[in-house]
Structures are given as C-alpha cells and as structure tokens.
Chain A
Amino acid sequence: MSQSDTAEIVARCHVLYEDLNFTAARKWKDAEPGRKVIGYMPVYVPREIIHAVGMLPLGILGGGDQLEVIHGDAYYQSYICRIPRSTIELGVSGRLDFVDGMLFPSICDVIRNLSGMWKMMFPGVYSKYFDVPQTYEDDVGGTFYENELTELLHDLEELAGRKVSEDDLRRSIEVYNRNRQVVRQLYALRAQKPWQVPAAEVYLVLRAGLVLPVEEHTDLVEQYLAAAESEDRPLRDNCRVILTGMFCEQPPLNLIKSLELSGCYVVDDDLMLVTRWLTDDVPTAGDPLHNLSQAFLHHSESTAAKYEPNPEEKGQYLVRAVRRTGAEGVIFASPSFCDPALLDRPMLQNVLKEAGIPFIAFKYAENSGQMQPIREQAGTFADSIKLWSAA
C-alpha cells in the first residue's frame, strides 16, 4: 500500500470524527427497516450484547470543539466537565433523534445524573444507567454483573422485538474479539514504531470504530495497519510518553497533535478505552454472559476509571506500561472536573515518583482552543527527558 492509502483512511476517519450529525450511523439505520441504534457514553459498555440483538452500538463522546453549547449549559453547573453539557446539546438540537436508546455507564456522578436527565428529556427513548461491579469477586461482583448484563439483554430484546440465542451472543463476542485483536496490533505497532503510527491517526482510526459497524471497523483497522507499516516516515529524536486520564471527555484533536509536535511520541494511552477495555479474547464456549462477566472481572484494563481494591497494586499498571512500551515519561492529561481521573492522579503520581518515572500533568476541556501552554509544558518535558534523564 502507498502513503495515499494511509492519508485516505485517515481522511475518511476525520470526516466521521467531525460529523456531529452521525450521518454514517443514520445511513446504517435507514438501509433496512426496523434497524435500531443504541448510543453509549464512555467508558465501558458490553457492545457485544447490542450487536447480538442486531443493533448498532454508537459511541457518544460529546460535542468536541466544533459544537457551541447553548442549551446544555442550563442543565449543569458551569464548573462541571463539558461532555454532559455538549451531550445534552447534541440531544436537544436533534442530532441524536435517530438514536433508539442510550446507555450511561457508571463512570461518575455527572454521567449518572445525565442518565436521569435523559429519561426526563426523552421519555420515548430507552435509557439505562449501566452499572458495573466495584467488587471483583466472582460471587459478588460477578453475580451482580451477570444480572446487569441479563437485564440489559432483556431490555434490548424487548426493544428489538426478538429473542437472542446464546449462539447469537457467541458470534458477536467473536466479532468483537477480532476487533480487539486488530486494535491490540495497532497499539503494539505504535509502541514499537511510533513514528510510523502518529497518535492523532491512531485516535481517528479508533474513534471511527465508535460510529461504524464493528465488522467494517475491523477491516478499516487492518487496512490502516498494512498501510502504516509499509509507509516510510522519518524517525525523529522524540521522547516516548504514555498519555493517561483521557478515558471519558475527549481532548481536542489539536491537543494530541500538539503533543507530538512538541517532541513526544505517544506509545500508549487510555483514549477510546471501550475498544480495549477487555485485554484478552472472551471465550466463546459456555455461557456467553458469564464469559463477558468473567472477562470484565479478570481480564480488563487497569485504569483510573476502574476501582483497584488492592493498595499495593494501585498505579502499578502505569509502571508496567512504561516498562512494556519503553516509555520515558507519563503525561497526565485529564478533563477539568473529571473526578475519576483527578482523584486518582496524586496516588498514581506517587507511584511513578517512587519508580523514578518522570511525569507532568495538565487539564483540558473538549473545546480547549489555546494549545500554547500545553505545547510549552510538553515541549519542556520532552527536552528535560532527552537532555537530562541520565543526569
């Protein structure tokens, strides 16, 4: 494949990224009568279940930096993060009028409140606060989560007007296993050759997966992988960093580009975490809901978005990620007022300090427009790593 293939793929993803009317999802829905679309907020929802019912899971990641929030500001305090306000704006402006249901995973109180607001604002739309376990013991969190999955499946079956077999679920699990495999390959390639796979491109390619059918997205990632591997891009003397704290409200694309321009190769991140939440293939033999539950409990990503019951283990995932990817530092970048990211940050920073891993931290909003301070922080961080890390 040639360079234009990469550019073409990324350009297509960019169009999907900028499209706040979700034209691709609308087209999918209109292609056959009776099709339904289920929206979901970050961070984690079992998309396999939505897929098994024959619906399109649609990631809703707020309005980004292109949407002016007018109505949304009336629903939340001004200091709250921006994603709930811009999501309300998407809803009341009719941009989500084709969405048949919304799932609000239990990431924080703000998103919990949004699920209630959605019920009141759009009474005709199926709306669910999707709870996930905080206890990782099979007979406690596991049982709870299986019940939650069963309830979701039951609700969606009712909405679809059809029953789903265990084989349907197994097929969907297989489809998502394949998607997670190619996404893992993409992350592995970037950790190995970050100059070949720029972070902004990885972001756009993954983000496309939140609006496209999963099968189409898997093909797209495979095409991008082939194109990126064959492309000849210059290796720069950049430092290698891990980005963390960006799992819910998304940074503007310019922020990711600015970090790279400042001399940082991003070798790992927690963007688009829903695409990598489960770290291994989910077994297809046996009870599919039980398997999904077990995967969540025992084979899911460690992150600030997930409760860690063992104090000894707190933050060690970051240290391991640094070792695994050969990163030289960590950038904590979180949305303003992001409880899960910002409350964990001091604990994670202490772990890095003890491990002798350099880090910096800043906050953003999805519509942050001024990149100079971020470029300054990231640029001087990169300089200090490159020039003084051995001193």
Chain B
Amino acid sequence: MTLSAGIDVGTGAVKAAIFKVEDGREEWLARSTLRIRQRDPMQLAEEAFNETLEKASLRIDDLDYIATTGEGEAIPFHTGHFYSMTSHARGAIYLNENATAVLDCGALHGRAIVTDKRGKVLGYKMTSQCASGSGQFLENIARYLGIAQDEIGKLSVQADEPETVSSICAVLAETDVINMVSRGITAPNILKGIHLSMASRLARLLKSIGVTDNLVMVTGGLALDKGLIAALGEELAKMKGVEAEVTSHPDSIYAGAIGAALWGAFRYEILVASGQLLKAS
C-alpha cells in the first residue's frame, strides 16, 4: 500500500489531495482547497495539506510521497515535484479514463495537452497571450458587472445575442466590456461573448496540438464554468476536421493535485522496486 499526497499551488487557489494506492486500486482519501486571495501561497499550501491530513486521519510520517505541482516546488516538505502538464494529464485520466486530451484552464494560463491512456503527455501548448484566456480575466469582468463568480456560467448560457469581444488583450477587452455596459448590453450576452472569445483561442490551441476526435477533459478552476464549456463545444464544432467532445468533472479543479499524488505513488513504487527507498521528508 502506498500513501501519497499531491499539492497543487495555482495562481488562484491551492489544492491538496491524499490517495491510497494498493494493487492498482486508487482510493481518494481526502481533499482541500483554499483560495489564495493575496495570502502567502506557501503558508496556504501548508494549511491545505494539514487540513487534508486531518480529514484522512493521517500524520505526515504516514505518507510515502508528497508531490507538488504548479508553483509548489518551493514547499519545503515535498518529496518530488511534477510539472503542471504532467499532473493534469494524469488527473484528467483519473477523472475520466476515456480522456485523451486535457484543457487546463486556470487563473492565469490555458494549457492544451494530448495524452495517452497512461497519462503520458504526448504534446502540449500554452496560451501565448497573458491573462485574456484565463480565469483571472473572467473574475475581473464579473467584478465590473457586479455579479458573483458562480453566476458567470449560469448567466452565459442564457444569452440570446452574444456580443463579440474583439480584442485578445485582457486590458483592451475590459475596455470593450465597459463600452458594452454603457450601451446597455445584458450581462448574459456580454459573458457569452467573452466565453466565445476565450473558447475560440482555446479551441485553436487544442487543434494546434493535433486534437481531432479526442475526448477533451477540462481541468482547473474554470472547468465548472458551464458557459465556457458550452462555448468550447460550439467553437470546436465550427472547426474543420475536429470532432472532439468536451467534458468536465465536478472534481476537475483537483486534477493537478490528483495527478501529482498519483504520480507520486507511481514514482514511489518505482523507487522501492529499484531499491532506492525515499521516504517523504
């Protein structure tokens, strides 16, 4: 039996997960998420990790491997670090074993990944623009519109005449949105326009790494935004030669932490088998 933890330090939130792996069976024991909100991510990572340990009724010494991902490489008590693409690919496969592509939509980046059935990354690309394809941008827009973040998706799917957002720059797009508000465009139509603009860039990213008829699992903080998922489906449907299906999972936000924990367990077993026993520090 291997006990492993995964800690994913993102730009907007810290996620932690603990797994028990025995004879190939993966059991998710506990999880925790803390929003960063201008707090120290390292301190939050420790808090989230301790909270997860408590939920799993474990002590740190019980763990065989503590894996970090995202910006978590500076966490002092980690055993090993995995890059975000590696972790999200594995996490996506855990959440849906049929997924062969992953779209990690976090607060700062969008990443498209093609993976095999084992979670091995076959190719990836990140958004080249800064914040315009990201959750931080959507959060800013929600604040301007005076709506809560969890309302974004619900409102977006109610749109009847989405307003096009022309710019790919978050700063200029925000100016667009201010103009729309002053012209009396409704919040659903503004939000849907933004979702379509983001989705169009993300769909191109997916196509550029060879996505054709893949099942695309959306992970990261935006995975639960129904509006974005719907817009992605629409944009992918418009692309020639692409028949990909988009899906997400209620636990998609944990994909990085899940992947890190599972890779940690996998790695621990390799180390044990090769006689290089490495206890979590």
Chain A: residues with CB nearer than 8 A to chain B? 234-238, 261-263, 376, 379-380, 382-383, 386-388, 390-391
Contacts and interface: CB of A to CB of B under 8 A. Distances in A.
A234 B66 CA distance: 13
7 contacts: A235-B278, A237-B65, A263-B83, A383-B82, A387-B86, A387-B267, A391-B120
B74 interface: yes
Nearest to B279: A235
Contact of B267 (A380, A386, A391): A386
A263 B120 contact: no
B252 interface: no
Given A237-B65, A237-B267, A386 B121 contact: no
A380 B89 CA distance: 12
A88 B267 CA distance: 49
B5 interface: no
B256 to A, nearest CB: 13
A168 B29 CA distance: 71
Interface string B188-224: 0000000000000000000000000000000000000
A238 B267 CA distance: 11
Which of A236, A261, A388, A391 has the most B CB atoms < 10 Å from its CB? Answer: A236
Given A262-B73, A387-B86, A234 B121 contact: no
Contacts of A238: 80-81
Interface of B: 65, 73-74, 76-83, 85-86, 120-121, 263, 266-267, 270-271, 278, 281
A376 B85 CA distance: 9
Contacts of A235: 278, 281
A267 to B, nearest CB: 15
Nearest to B270: A390
Which of A235, A238, A261, A383 has the most B CB atoms < 10 Å from its CB? Answer: A383
Contacts of A386: 80, 267, 270
A387 B278 contact: no
B121 A236 contact: no
Contacts, number: 55
B72 to A, nearest CB: 10
Nearest to A237: B80
B80 A263 contact: yes
A383 B86 contact: yes
Given A263-B73, A387-B267, A237 B86 contact: no
A262 B270 contact: no
Which of B81, B263, B278 has the most A CB atoms < 10 Å from its CB? Answer: B81
B125 to A, nearest CB: 11
A382 B67 CA distance: 14
Nearest to A380: B83
A43 B258 CA distance: 47
A161 B29 CA distance: 78
A391 B118 CA distance: 11
Contact of B80 (A236, A261, A376, A380): A236
A211 to B, nearest CB: 30
Contact of B74 (A234, A261, A383): A261
B83 A376 contact: yes
A263 B263 CA distance: 14
A237 B79 CA distance: 6
B80 A387 contact: no
Contact of A387 (B78, B81, B266): B266
A237 B83 contact: no
Nearest to B276: A237
B135 to A, nearest CB: 18
Nearest to A258: B73
Given A237-B267, A383-B86, A386-B270, 10 more contacts: A234-B76, A234-B77, A235-B278, A236-B79, A262-B81, A263-B73, A379-B82, A380-B83, A383-B82, A387-B266
A302 B221 CA distance: 50
B281 to A, nearest CB: 4
A380 B278 contact: no
Top 7 A-B pairs, shortest CB-CB distance: A237-B80, A379-B83, A234-B281, A383-B86, A261-B73, A263-B81, A380-B83
Which of A235, A263, A386, A391 has the most B CB atoms < 10 Å from its CB? Answer: A386
A390 B83 CA distance: 19
Contacts of B82: 263, 379, 383
Contact of A237 (B74, B85, B120, B271): B271
Contacts of A376: 83
B130 to A, nearest CB: 12
A383 B82 CA distance: 6
A128 B113 CA distance: 54
A387 B281 contact: no
B78 A380 contact: no
A263 B267 CA distance: 13
A234 B82 CA distance: 17
B241 to A, nearest CB: 27
Nearest to A389: B270
Contacts of A380: 83, 85-86, 121
Contacts of B271: 237
A390 B266 CA distance: 13
Contacts of B65: 237
B83 A383 contact: yes
Contacts of A383: 82-83, 86, 121, 263
Contacts of A391: 120
B81 A379 contact: yes
A388 B121 CA distance: 10
Nearest to B126: A376
A263 B86 CA distance: 13
Nearest to B118: A391
Nearest to A261: B73
Contacts of A379: 81-83
A357 to B, nearest CB: 18
Contacts of A234: 76-77, 281
A390 B270 CA distance: 9
B149 to A, nearest CB: 27
A391 B266 CA distance: 13
Nearest to B77: A234
